[in-house]
Amino acid sequence: MNFKKFIINLLMIIFISSAIAEEKIVNDQKTELNVYTGMFDFSDDGKRSNLIGFQHQNENLNRDTFLGNLSPITGLLITADNAGYVYTGVQAQYKLGFLNFTPSFTPGLYHEGDGKDLGHLIEFKSELQISLDLSKTSQLGFSYNHISNASLGDKNPGANSYMFNFFKNF
């Protein structure tokens, strides 16, 4: 009988300690990586191109403000036409149950490669992401953005893009 109690207590200790360790792992995950793919400038038949991108967010830098939870982000996107956009900016996060709404604004540097001429090196990206929590550490989402130079250059054609996103916290 004592041996049964010992085994039951041992199993309970193992179960509780693994649950605490899992909670600690989830709470220690402060870096979010967003990997996305989609269509760059889908509204322009002549310069439409596939894209892939990566975005990083350090949740240690999140701040709760009257505008919501704000966080700095940094990222890179590359199109199949060798155009590229490197950016850094800010995003807000709003949770509505299992759905997340994330608007962002990111100034950056654009290189047209063999892709669309957006009119200037400096471009601004406005984006809205909608994502769904898959687990405590991952999300699946869809986003739409508009990249424009705000008339800094001689021309300002802009580009509208959509992406499918996978988010993972580390």
Whether 92 is covered by a domain: the verdict is: yes
4-13 CB contacts, 8 Å cutoff, 24+ apart: none
Tell me the pLDDT tens digit for each residue of 2-36.
656 665 665 565 555 554 444 444 445 578 899 99
- The residue ranking higher by pLDDT, 17 or 152, is 152
Whether 24 is covered by a domain: the verdict is: no
Distance CA 43, CA 142 (A): 17
> Global pTM?
0.80
Q: β-strands 159-169, 31-40: how paired? A: antiparallel
Number of domains present in the structure of the chain? 1
Whether 7 is covered by a domain: the verdict is: no
CATH of the domain at 37: 2.40.160.20
Whether 103 is covered by a domain: the verdict is: yes
Whether 26 is covered by a domain: the verdict is: no
Rounded to the nearest 5 percent, the helix, strand and coil shares of the chain are 20, 55, 25
Distance CA 23, CA 132 (A): 21
Range of the domain at 100: 31-169
Give pLDDT, residue 39.
97
Whether 5 is covered by a domain: the verdict is: no
Whether 8 is covered by a domain: the verdict is: no
Tell me the pLDDT tens digit for each residue of 69-110.
899 999 999 999 999 999 999 999 999 888 999 999 999 999
The pLDDT-based confidence of 59 (bands split at 50, 70, 90) is: confident
Give pLDDT, residue 22.
43
Which residue blocks in the chain are alpha helix, DSSP H? 2-28
Give pLDDT, residue 163.
97
Give pLDDT, residue 15.
55
Distance CA 91, CA 128 (A): 9
Whether 90 is covered by a domain: the verdict is: yes
